[in-house]
Structure 1
Amino acid sequence: MGSRWGVNRTVGQIYALLFVTERSLHADDIGEKLGISRSNVSFGLKELQAWGLVRLTRVPGDRREYFSSLGDVWEIFRVVAAERRRREIAPTLSVLRESMLVKPGAPDDAFAQERMREMYELVDLANNWFDDLQRLSPESLAQLMRMGNKVQKLLSAKDRLLGGAKAKEPDA
């Protein structure tokens, strides 16, 4: 799954091991269980720490560092989503914002700039929606996700009701 989500295969394997293991593991344990070199384990753990996906702990009397994954799946979801946003969405918004500041020199440039403005508005809207989602409790977020296409039905019903109310207003 990790390689499909844009992380190195070894990083994905390390995270999967930590996720399904109840106790914290040190780098030697990880390398032994996965059959990977100590340097690859170190690299993978640094990457996972940069993402904020692993916790580092120490055991009294032991000089080694022990690692575990975040415990709550909703916390994992939030951390991954926030990090992807920081790494992918924020730079995309910056590039699109900068492109809209350039004066179009030709009709084709104006068309391209309009398309980039549309893309900026979409990405910005999704980014702002993500802010709202981050503030929801795990229970509310799960409830929203379970609603699925019921949200579309609710919005359609609202439009029908408001459309009907608007049509009746001129007669009043």
Structure 2
Amino acid sequence: MTEITDHTNMLPTAVQQFVLHWGEMGGQWGVNRSVAQIHALLYLSDRPLHAEEISDTLRIARSNTSNSLKELLAWKLIRRAPVMGDRRDHYEAEVDLWQMLTRIAQGRKAREIDPAVAALQVCAAEAKQDPRISETARGRIDSMHDFVRTMDDWYQQMIAIPPGRLAMLVAMGKRVLAFLPKGKIGK
């Protein structure tokens, strides 16, 4: 990104488009638009930015910027970066894409998957004890619980793979199927 020397100037068009698009995508992923736009701006910035610069550049309220920065810090997608001679907090984004992906996956797992596994475990245990629940419903609850646990186990295995090896695995794509026995999944 072109260094922001006067944050009231327009951002270069490509940077503007990236920030706007990232904000829209964030909304589709359940992330506040301002949070996503701030993340995009910091990701493209070649130097740490302070909150006032971010607010002025994106034309968003300072309070919104502050809350968004707190959320990004909690997700560990940005960090504070000290700047010599300036007492304000400055921020920079994680730029390693594998680290970013890993942190997002860890955060989503903790907020979404872990509670689902726990809730399904309770449902499955209660279904086993309740004679009023049909065999069909009990079986479907158990299937859902098994599926979510399997996906959780897979996640645990994938997150433990070093980023370089994980990148190789992803690059292999469907060619990895050649190493698996032929036949239908689940049969």
TM-score by shorter chain over 0.5: yes
Task: Please tell me whether the aligned partners of residues 124 and 145 of structure 2 are also in contact (alpha carbons under 8 angstroms).
Answer: no
Mean Cα deviation higher: 78-87 or 97-106: 97-106
- Could you tell me which of 175, 180, 183 is aligned with 1:150? 175
Contact 1:51 1:79 in 2 (8 A): yes
Stretches of structure 2 lacking an aligned partner (at least 5 in a row): 1-24
Alignment partner, residue 135 of structure 1? 160
The structure number with the bigger radius of gyration is: 1
Q: Is the 8 A contact 1:11 1:44 kept in 2?
A: yes
**SS of residue in 1 equivalent to 2:81:** strand
Dislocated runs of 4+, deviation >3 Å: none
Shift of 1:152: 2.1
Q: Report if aligned partners of 1:93, 1:123 keep a CA contact under 8 Å in 2.
A: yes
Secondary structure of 1:67's match?
strand
Query: How much does 1:59 deviate?
Result: 2.3
- Deviations 1:81-105, CA, capped at 9 Å, x for gaps: 0100000000000100001111123
Change (3 A) 1:152 1:104: farther
TM-score if structure 2 supplies the norm length?
Answer: 0.79
Contact 1:54 1:70 survives alignment (8 Å):
yes
CA contact (8 A) 1:99 1:113 kept: no
Q: Let me know the Cα RMSD of the aligned residues.
A: 1.4
Give me the whole-angstrom Cα distance separating, in 2, the residues matched to 1:155 and 1:38: 54
Secondary structure, in 3 states, of the residue corresponding to 1:68? strand
Separation in 2, partners of 1:49, 1:113: 41
User: Could you list the runs of 5+ residues in structure 1 that have no partner in the other structure?
Assistant: 160-172
TM-score (norm 1): 0.85
TM-superposed CA distance for 1:10, in Å, is 0.7
Q: Tell me, yes or no, if the aligned pair for 1:23 and 1:68 is still in contact at 8 Å.
A: yes
Which position in structure 1 is the counterpart of 2:130?
104
Shift of 1:71: 2.4
Partners of 1:89 and 1:107 lie apart in 2 by 25
Letter in 1 for 2:162: S
How do 1:34-45 residues align onto structure 2 when only pairs under 5 Å count? 34-45=58-69
2:50 pairs with one of 7, 10, 26? 26
Aligned residues: 157
CA distance, structure 2, for counterparts of residue 74 and residue 68 of structure 1: 16
